[in-house]
Amino acid sequence: MKERILNYRNRIDNILNSGNEETDWESIIEEHLIQIGFFQHERLIHLIVTMLFAILTFMAVGVYIVSGAVYMLALIAILLVLLVPYIMHYYLLENETQKMYGQYDEMLKRLRAVKEEW
């Protein structure tokens, strides 16, 4: 997913930077909104999974504090090993989706400029 979202956003950046007068902004905007929807869905799923692992980690820490069971340290370590990459991936999804909102705003400006020229 990381490669897909970065490649897509870079492709849109290239379109925006090309300055091509023949660009069909309406179809690009339509595709962009669909892609944003896909990435928003992915972001929601990863938020749920990340929060689940965070809650499980805090619960395991609580059990360790209350019981002092040494085996809980292994569970905490495993949960942290999973939680950190989930947080990093969610961070990427969140930031890239926010950048896509900016791209969308720029596309709308260009579409309006084209329509005003007609």
Tell me: the pLDDT tens digits for 30-43?
A: 999 999 999 999 99
Instruction: Give me the long-range contacts of 89-93 (CB less than 8 A, separation at least 24).
Output: 89/1, 89/2, 89/46, 90/43, 90/46, 90/47, 90/50, 92/2, 92/5, 93/1, 93/5, 93/39, 93/42, 93/43, 93/46
Is the pTM for the entire model greater than 0.85? Answer: no
pLDDT digits (tens, 9 = 90+) for 79-109: 999 999 999 999 999 999 999 999 999 999 9
